[in-house]
Chains A and B, each alone.
Chain A
């Protein structure tokens, strides 16, 4: 669907994007992740054909964005960071205009506009002036203009910024639905969003590609060894003695007695299979297991690891859902 090869972009002396290469398959939702100023918007602007690249090529649906711009642009629906809206137009009128500049045939326009209005639930707002709409509705109108003409590729630049939690979850649901029959590139600096929607992620930092992979693969790669969290009912000393006898535990990371009859152990295992041995050891010593779970690094840790921000705190990262 989309092929980005050795993409480079200079702004004067500043290199905003360096040698970026990745692909997007049919009906795939690709997350585009990076801290602020990493070059996400620049890359998306280049793919959409707004900015020319300094080097490298972008091919959309087999059309080069530079050489065959007209055909390539026909395959793209783009929602920039700031939705491109005219405040003095009415919703329906605006969408009809969008259908027009996208070069749809007259007979298709009405049907496409109706489809967009229906899919984004804008029916009650169709006669309203865009300038009077709330932020959430403006974003929806922005998305509606992107899906008009049923483009095969949708580029969405931070579509959920500034929306309230209900709107965010609605929008995510909608994007997931779109992903069934469209390719979607979704940029965000919110990790939870990417892991909730996307099949695959591209992580960039300072204009350079850090990783392209599925979320599961990235998480798995980060799991150097398995960490088990074990909550038992019983005495700490007794349980520790039992655990010592189990082979396959490489390290006891922490052991806390909560003084309410439960203790929590954090153990590093050589293999996930050691779990069963721990389980049977506990049972045979009459210690009840209240909870047992594996700790997995999530996308956030992967991200911090890759962008080298592990120690610098979460400064530019927002992660409202996980905190």
Chain B
């Protein structure tokens, strides 16, 4: 399993892929950062990251499908899926190795973004509790999105289409988030409770205040596990329906 993980990591870092995406990520983060700084009241040198994370995540969500699009689609297209499935590795191991490798790249990007809080702490005050919670929520949402992106990649043999489907679903999340805040939804309590359950914003608010709730952790992790399990089932199902 480690060999597969290593190969996946290498396919990201031995090609421009991880670097180009990291650059894009840093660019988005940098723009938001500059805007925030420029918008600041000159008398207060406190900087709130969670808001920035929240806004950034909307952009970042669109990077994730690019990160995950190749995971299964390319294996299928190149005929290497046969090798993986006829190796002694189980499908669970294959899915986990691929998932962990993408999570590693994701962590690498988050590590790069540490540049901003470090820079701030040199010149001002950082509210560490909300920063750490911001990172945690960012990471947890990332896990869910990565698992989803991989699912679409497993369903497709064309990586571009896998990416586009990923973007569409991410767009759906974005819509849900904004839709949850509309007056229409708010006037229907039942609908509201369903929509806000999936909405990032509500969960984000807690994190932004530096609150780490078990409920949120369970929500994100169980969603991730559920989607990963779905991928395993899907690949197994495709073996049976193979044409």
Contacts and interface: CB of A to CB of B under 8 A. Distances in A.
Interface of A: 11-12, 45, 48-52, 70, 73-74, 76, 78, 80, 82-89, 93, 96-103, 145
Interface string B76-97: 0011111111111110000000
Contact of A86 (B6, B80, B85, B88): B80
Q: Which 8 A-B residue pairings sit nearest by Cβ, starting from the closest?
A: A100-B3, A84-B83, A82-B79, A84-B80, A101-B87, A48-B86, A80-B82, A73-B88
B82 A78 contact: yes
A83 B83 CA distance: 9
B223 interface: no
A93 B239 CA distance: 28
Interface of B: 2-4, 6-7, 10-11, 14-15, 78-90, 239-240, 242-243
B157 to A, nearest CB: 13
Contacts of A98: 83
A88 B82 contact: no
Given A52-B239, A70-B90, A86-B80, A100 B2 contact: yes
B78 A84 contact: yes
Contact of B239 (A51, A88, A89, A100): A51
Given A78-B83, A86-B78, A145-B83, 11 more contacts: A51-B239, A78-B82, A83-B79, A85-B80, A86-B11, A86-B80, A97-B6, A99-B3, A100-B4, A100-B6, A102-B87
B86 A73 contact: yes
Contacts, number: 76
Determine the main DSSP class of B at the interface with A.
helix
A31 B169 CA distance: 49
A102 B86 CA distance: 9
B66 to A, nearest CB: 17
Most buried by A among B2, B15, B88, B240: B88
A96 B2 CA distance: 12
Contacts of B88: 70, 73-74, 101-103
Contacts of B242: 11, 51
Given A11-B243, A97-B7, A50 B82 contact: yes
B122 to A, nearest CB: 40
Most buried by A among B11, B84, B85, B87: B87
26 contacts: A49-B86, A51-B242, A52-B240, A73-B88, A78-B82, A78-B86, A80-B79, A80-B83, A83-B79, A84-B79, A84-B82, A85-B78, A85-B80, A86-B78, A88-B11, A88-B15, A89-B10, A97-B6, A99-B3, A100-B7, A101-B3, A101-B83, A102-B88, A103-B87, A103-B88, A103-B89
Contacts of A83: 79
Given A73-B88, A78-B82, A50 B239 contact: yes
Given A84-B78, A84-B80, A101 B86 contact: no
A89 B15 CA distance: 10
A101 B84 contact: yes
Nearest to A70: B88
Nearest to B242: A51
A103 B86 CA distance: 12
A73 B2 CA distance: 18
A97 B3 CA distance: 6
Nearest to B15: A88
Nearest to B97: A101
Nearest to A87: B78
Nearest to A81: B79
Contacts of B243: 11-12
Contacts of B87: 73, 101-103
Contacts of A49: 85-86
A49 B83 CA distance: 10
Nearest to A97: B7
A64 to B, nearest CB: 15
